[in-house]
Structure 1
Amino acid sequence: MAIFRQYIAPLIAVLIFTLALVAVSARIFLPSDMAAPAPIENVSMGNSEQLTDLITDN
């Protein structure tokens, strides 16, 4: 158990940190239009009757 606590657990923590750092840093290399957040102005909730039907169909 000491081997896991001394070697394996810290290695897993460092690997997760490194993966997160690479994922966040990858935005630097994206084209400028892909690095921006997705637009939300054209999002539609749909027809309210369809939503009511989906909720009450249980």
Structure 2
Amino acid sequence: MTKKIIRLLFVFAVILFAWGSIVTWLLDVWVGMFFILCAIFCFLIRKWKGFE
């Protein structure tokens, strides 16, 4: 009985760890994309202002 509980807890911990890793990876990707977009946007504005 205790072995079953320990196994369940272990599986649960692994699932939680994997889910947390996926979520943090997605957050990192979104933050990175946001910064890249901001940089491109700033670059375009600077270029556009330079043309005027």
The alignment's TM-score, normalised by the length of structure 1, stands at 0.46
Gaps of at least 5 residues in structure 1 are 34-58
Percent of matched pairs sharing the same residue: 6
Corresponding residue number in structure 1 for 2:42: 27
Q: Which residue of 27, 37, 45 maps to 1:12?
A: 27
Higher relative contact order (CA 8 A, sep 6+): 1
List per-residue Cα deviations over 1:17-51 (Å, max 9, x = no partner): 00000001102321225xxxxxxxxxxxxxxxxxx
Aligned residues: 32
Moved over 6 A (4+): none
Gaps of at least 5 residues in structure 2 are 1-15
Higher share of residues assigned helix? 2
Please tell me the root mean square deviation across aligned C-alpha atoms, in Å. 1.5
